[in-house]
Chain A
């Protein structure tokens, strides 16, 4: 399988791009998994039971599950459920009952099994996340008689080279690549769900920058970006942020900067920012600027820029958690949705799509 973007094992619990999401989904299992329709399927756990008060859930782990060549233990599962992120996601505690059973206590009562347990932040990584670092190749050992999956980073970032070398699967958002393989009979191209939404995020202290109409969004999706895009369509998970625990009243600092910033390695975000600058007119002092991830995080925290063009997953199992890095009280304007395409060699392993549009290799 081709990894077209950089992969860092340190991101195992919070993947930052399609390649990391694809890789980690194959070897970092969660207790349950959700399919593309939101239906819960067994993951590490084969069954689960709700306590009478609805606060506690007891999971029974599947037997014979191996992780990176060694049997998975209930203690490893408990370890994944007591990380700081788990607390932020609403898990109060996790208790080891025996070698196959784990009891999880939630902050709030849930009548049905919360889909939260499919959240990648609760995946079991066996310490890979803490020992992580950039990788160029990763082999996920096969279980239950399946062959191992060999993930290879595309050296120059162009999946076409990997496809020409005989790779079985590549996920790309570049229409040129889909166009490239269109006439190749040994390859199939499948559009994946609209999985990413680009937002225009404006701190409360910044002068408003309004995307006037749907036609502008259509123009953005049609002409501004070189990606398979559409105007952002609701529902949006960030619309429910009002139910999140209240943050202290935040009086937005006046923003004097005139930049729209975007992640440096995101071409779609760059194109959107540039188009917004162009739409602002020749007399405007607005301009676009790329920021490194650390700079972007700092700018979001300190609210030092006029606006941010960022990409978020269209689906979220924990909206409050996923929006925690945004400036409180920000104005959020969805711009476009994008999706990737899977280029699959005919005859390779069957695939399915998870709730968030990530491919999963089936046995």
Chain B
């Protein structure tokens, strides 16, 4: 993840997390306070419901008392109820209906002492029915209203009822009156938009719980006359419920506003974070780009900055570092140049020594002949003249190459056996056995004869050096064609010695510049050999083991057919 992305995310989260915490806190606090408010209202409303019930109970009791007193003085009631006078019977039958309407009751029943219905207001035609349990059970809960489920002709009626009695002509009559529970009372007890009150009684539909919760219950006696005779008192409840709609609406409102604020903040944070992270990371990226471009050959990057912050400091540090690098690079180049001159001098020295060695050998030989038998000197000189000439020619060519500093390779078909034979002739073996094993019908190789001679002189010289002083030391140079018997592809030249061989470590470093195991060696021989073979498109390998001698094998490609051998 890039620094810019991290910076961006950090800014966004730094904005969002506090906002989320704020929304959560506001939501929780709002819910807590609203719930507390509701609980207070519920307690008040429960008190109101109880007061209302007491008030309604008192009102019903007052109306029943008034009706009882009125009936006690009512002649037509007396005639109908006591004398059973036909003319007054219709009055009695209609009495409860009229009285119920006048008194604002929803249920009114007049019963005689055995529980026979004399007049019913809510169900006119239930007269003459026996219903003694109604006044008896209502009288069992004096002072309170009882929820009564009775019937009318069309539908059940749920009423809060009380009972009263009066006496006419020495006979006791009962009055049962009440108000409809659902429509009248519950309508008056409407508690507002968020609080509702429901009447729950055995067999009733359960309180709808979706979107509301029950917060208070007020029990009251319940009598279900629809169950038939033998029914007893049960318990009903006024259930106060709290609608969660307002809370939900508030919660949704807060959520909506929070989401809106979150969206706006997120958008703003993204823009600001993008701008800020871009602004912060741009100089860093610029520094990275400049730093990436720095190379030993390209140290001209400028890290100048007038910023006073950390980026300015970093830029100035990089600038100082580049300056130091620039100085170090100059010093390194100078050192390299000096090292290269030294190398060249050593290589020239090495090559000249190689070129002078045959001359020194010839001169030493001539001196010996001169001391032993001067008459043989012309003959010997004539015999060794070619060696001198070839050495001189070698040195001249060497001089020309170095004069060009970067000599080009002049490839032409070369006779490998001839060059090998010449090199071995020029090699002073000092008692070392030199064995030449030349292959027949070797193809000419495409090479520079001088480079090939330098290769062989180095390898044969190294081999002779390795066996010098060792009894039975032997150096064998072998040439042979490569490829199959039908078609040669080049020539393989093997220089093998019976010297001490090399360890693996020595072998790994054998071709490094300036690495040598010989006292007085330059450490450039094998390095030069490898470079020359590669320049001739040849291959080189070394087979050696400590105590088992060393075999240096290199192969050179064959010259194209038709090219003259040089």
Binding site for B on A (CB under 8 A): 222-224, 226, 270-271, 273-275, 277-278, 282-283, 287-290
A22 CA to B532 CA in the complex, in Å?
147
Q: Is the beta-carbon distance between B94 and A226 smaller than 8 angstroms?
A: yes
| A223-B89 contact given A278-B125, A278-B126, CB 8 Å threshold | yes
Q: Is the beta-carbon distance between A274 and B90 smaller than 8 angstroms?
A: no
| A271-B124 contact given A223-B90, A226-B94, CB 8 Å threshold | yes
The number of A-B residue pairs with CB atoms under 8 Å apart is 42
Is B238 in the interface zone, CB < 8 Å from A?
no
A287 CA to B131 CA in the complex, in Å?
18
A270 CA to B154 CA in the complex, in Å?
10
A54 CA to B93 CA in the complex, in Å?
56
Question: Residue on A with the closest CB to B130?
Answer: A282
Residues of chain B contacted by A270 (CB below 8 angstroms): 153
Is B151 in the interface zone, CB < 8 Å from A?
yes
Residues of chain A contacted by B229 (CB below 8 angstroms): 282
Is B226 in the interface zone, CB < 8 Å from A?
yes
The size of the chain B interface, using a CB distance under 8 A, is 20
Residues of chain B contacted by A288 (CB below 8 angstroms): 153-154
Q: Is the beta-carbon distance between B89 and A282 smaller than 8 angstroms?
A: no
Residues of chain B contacted by A278 (CB below 8 angstroms): 123, 125-127, 129, 153
**B125-147 CB contacts (< 8 Å) to partner A:** 125-127, 129, 131
Q: Is the beta-carbon distance between A282 and B90 smaller than 8 angstroms?
A: no
The interface residues of chain A, by DSSP majority, are classed as helix
Question: Residue on B with the closest CB to A286?
Answer: B153
CB of A181, distance to nearest CB on chain B (Å): 18
A288 CA to B124 CA in the complex, in Å?
13
CB of A130, distance to nearest CB on chain B (Å): 38
Question: Residue on B with the closest CB to A285?
Answer: B226
CB of A251, distance to nearest CB on chain B (Å): 31
Question: Residue on A with the closest CB to B120?
Answer: A278
- Which of A223, A224, A275, A282 touches B151 (beta carbons < 8 Å)? A282
**Other CB < 8 Å A-B pairs besides A222-B86, A282-B229, 13 of them?**
A226-B90, A273-B153, A274-B123, A274-B153, A278-B127, A278-B129, A282-B226, A282-B228, A287-B151, A287-B154, A288-B153, A289-B154, A290-B154
CB of B107, distance to nearest CB on chain A (Å): 15
**B213-254 CB contacts (< 8 Å) to partner A:** 225-226, 228-229
Q: Is the beta-carbon distance between B129 and A287 smaller than 8 angstroms?
A: no
Q: Is the beta-carbon distance between B125 and A274 smaller than 8 angstroms?
A: yes
Q: Is the beta-carbon distance between B127 and A223 smaller than 8 angstroms?
A: yes
Q: Is the beta-carbon distance between B125 and A287 smaller than 8 angstroms?
A: no
Contact with A along B416-432 (1 / 0, CB 8 A): 00000000000000000
Residues of chain A contacted by B151 (CB below 8 angstroms): 282, 287
Most chain A CB neighbours (cut-off 10 Å) among B89, B153, B225: B153
Is B155 in the interface zone, CB < 8 Å from A?
yes
Question: Residue on A with the closest CB to B126?
Answer: A278
CB of A276, distance to nearest CB on chain B (Å): 8
**B108-125 CB contacts (< 8 Å) to partner A:** 123-125
A-B contact pairs, 24 of them (CB 8 A): A222-B86, A223-B89, A223-B90, A223-B93, A223-B127, A226-B94, A271-B124, A274-B124, A274-B125, A274-B153, A277-B125, A278-B123, A278-B125, A278-B126, A282-B129, A282-B131, A282-B151, A282-B228, A282-B229, A287-B151, A287-B153, A287-B154, A287-B155, A288-B153
